[in-house]
C-alpha cells in the first residue's frame, strides 16, 4: 500500500475522540466521512461544521462530512477508523462488516478490553471481520480530545504488525501539530491504553479524597508497573510502556480534568455511588467496564495487579475507598523491580531484572536474569523532537 495519505477515510463514531481524530485526518489532507448514530447530530455537524453534543467549541474542516448511514460511511474508504465504546465494538462491527471495503485498513481508537472474552480491540476486529493482523492498526497515546481540536501540539503511536500499513496510517494523520510514530508492538500499545483508564480511575478516587500528590505519584508509577507486568506476560515489549502509548497516555489521563476516567473516579472519591457517578457522566469512561476484564487477564496470566483489583472492588463491589486504600497499602512490602517480566531479545536493562515484584523467572539469553548494566535510550526520549519533520518509527534498541 502506498505511504501517501489516502483520499477517503471513514470514521465510525461521532463522539469526542472520533470527532477530534476526524479533524486530524482532515488537516492531513484526507476526505473524511464521519458516521454518527443519531440523525439529528449528523445534521447539526453538516449544517454548522461542529459537533454540538461533544465538542461544540471546535470548527471542523470542510472535508469532514457526517452521515447516519453506515453503508455511505464505508463506501470507497481506504482506511476505516473505529471510535466506538469498547464493549459495543463487536455487535456494531457485525452490523457494519458488510459495508466495509475489501482491503480497507481497520484502525482502532478504542481503549479497552472486551468483557467475557478478555480480547483486545484489535482481536475483536479480526474476529468479526476476518482481517489479518497486517490490516488492523491501533492509534494510542496522550490525546485528550479537547486539546486535539484546539490543534495543540500532540504525539501518538500507530501500531500494526505490518510496518507498511502502520506507515500508511501514519501518513494519513500527520500534520504540523499532530505527530504520529509507528510501532509493531500492537499488544503493548493496546494494553497501555486500556490499563491507563483503570489507573486513572484510581487516581481520580485519590484526588476526590484530596489525598495529595504523593499518593498520585505512587499510583501512577505502580500502575505503570502493573501494565508492564501484564504486557510482558502477554508478549508485549516492556519498553513500549515507557513511550507515548504507555507512560505518555497514563500521565495525560491521570492528570487532566478533561479525562473522563479521572473525573468518574473523582466522583467516587467524593462519596458518590456508581449510579450517581454515571448520572453525572455524559460520555463513556472505558475503565469502568474494562477494569473487570483487565483484572481477569491479570489473574489468567498469573500477574499481580493490586491497584486494578482495588478499582474493581470500589467500582463494582461498592467498597468504601478509604477502606480499600488501607488494604492496598497494608499488603506485604516487597522490592521494586526495575523491569518485571521477560527481557526482549537484544535488550539489556540497567538494574535488577525480576525481583519480588513479579515473582516470575525472567530469561535473558537463555539464563536466569541477574543484575546487569547497559546504557539504553528510552523510547520516550525519541519524542522530544520537532512536530513537522517526517515522523519516526519507535525503535527499542540499546544506544
Q: Which residues are identified as catalytic?
A: 196
Question: 139: which strand partners?
Answer: 158
Q: Cβ(361)–Cβ(368) under 8 Å?
A: yes
Range list of H helices, the chain:
16-27, 39-48, 70-74, 89-96, 121-129, 145-148, 163-172, 186-208, 213-233, 249-255, 260-269, 274-280, 286-300, 306-316, 321-329
Residue 197: all three cell numbers together: 483508564
- Cβ–Cβ < 8 Å for 51, 18: no
**Which cell goes with 120?**
483486545
Who contacts 43 (Cβ-Cβ below 8 Å, separation ≥6)? Answer: none
Q: Which residues contact 108 (CB under 8 A, 6 or more apart)?
A: 82, 121, 122, 125, 136, 137, 138, 139, 190
Amino acid at each position: 500500500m502506498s505511504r501517501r495519505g489516502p483520499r477517503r477515510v471513514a470514521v465510525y463514531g461521532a463522539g469526542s475522540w472520533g470527532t477530534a481524530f476526524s479533524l486530524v485526518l482532515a488537516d492531513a489532507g484526507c476526505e473524511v466521512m464521519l458516521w454518527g448514530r443519531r440523525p439529528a447530530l449528523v445534521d447539526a455537524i453538516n449544517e454548522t461544521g461542529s459537533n454540538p453534543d461533544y465538542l461544540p467549541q471546535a470548527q471542523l474542516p470542510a472535508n469532514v462530512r457526517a452521515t447516519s448511514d453506515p453503508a455511505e460511511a464505508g463506501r470507497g474508504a481506504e482506511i476505516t477508523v473505529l471510535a466506538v465504546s469498547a464493549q459495543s465494538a463487536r455487535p456494531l462491527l457485525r452490523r457494519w462488516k458488510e459495508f466495509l471495503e475489501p482491503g480497507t485498513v481497520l484502525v482502532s481508537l478504542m481503549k479497552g478490553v472486551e468483557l467475557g472474552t478478555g480480547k483486545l480491540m484489535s482481536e475483536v476486529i479480526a474476529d468479526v471481520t476476518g482481517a489479518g493482523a497486517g490490516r488492523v492498526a491501533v492509534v494510542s497515546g496522550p490525546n485528550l480530545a479537547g486539546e486535539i481540536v484546539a490543534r495543540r501540539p500532540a504525539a501518538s503511536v500507530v501500531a500494526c504488525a505490518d510496518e507498511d500499513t502502520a506507515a500508511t496510517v501514519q501518513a494519513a494523520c500527520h500534520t504540523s501539530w499532530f505527530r504520529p510514530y509507528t510501532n509493531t508492538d500492537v499488544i503493548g500499545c493496546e494494553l497501555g491504553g486500556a490499563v491507563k483508564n483503570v489507573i486513572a480511575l484510581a487516581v481520580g478516587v485519590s484526588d476526590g479524597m484530596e489525598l495529595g500528590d504523593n499518593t498520585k505519584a505512587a499510583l501512577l508509577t505502580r500502575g505503570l508497573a502493573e501494565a508492564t507486568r501484564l504486557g510482558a506476560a502477554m508478549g508485549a515489549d516492556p519498553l513500549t510502556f515507557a513511550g507515548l502509548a504507555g507512560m505518555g497516555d497514563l500521565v495525560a489521563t491521570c492528570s487532566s480534568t478533561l479525562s473522563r476516567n479521572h473525573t468518574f473516579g473523582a466522583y467516587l472519591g467524593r462519596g458518590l455511588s456508581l449510579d450517581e457517578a454515571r448520572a453525572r457522566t455524559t460520555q463513556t469512561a472505558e475503565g469502568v467496564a474494562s477494569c473487570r476484564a483487565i483484572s481477569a487477564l491479570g489473574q489468567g496470566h498469573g500477574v499481580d495487579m493490586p491497584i486494578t483489583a482495588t478499582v474493581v472492588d470500589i467500582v463494582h463491589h461498592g467498597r468504601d475507598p478509604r477502606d480499600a486504600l488501607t488494604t492496598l497499602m497494608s499488603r506485604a512490602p516487597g522490592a521494586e523491580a526495575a523491569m518485571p517480566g521477560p527481557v526482549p531479545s537484544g535488550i539489556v536493562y540497567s538494574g535488577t531484572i525480576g525481583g519480588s515484584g513479579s515473582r516470575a523467572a525472567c530469561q535473558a539469553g537463555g539464563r536466569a536474569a541477574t543484575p546487569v548494566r547497559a546504557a539504553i535510550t528510552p523510547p520516550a526520549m525519541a519524542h522530544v523532537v520537532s512536530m513537522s519533520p517526517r515522523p519516526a518509527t519507535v525503535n527499542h534498541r540499546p544506544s
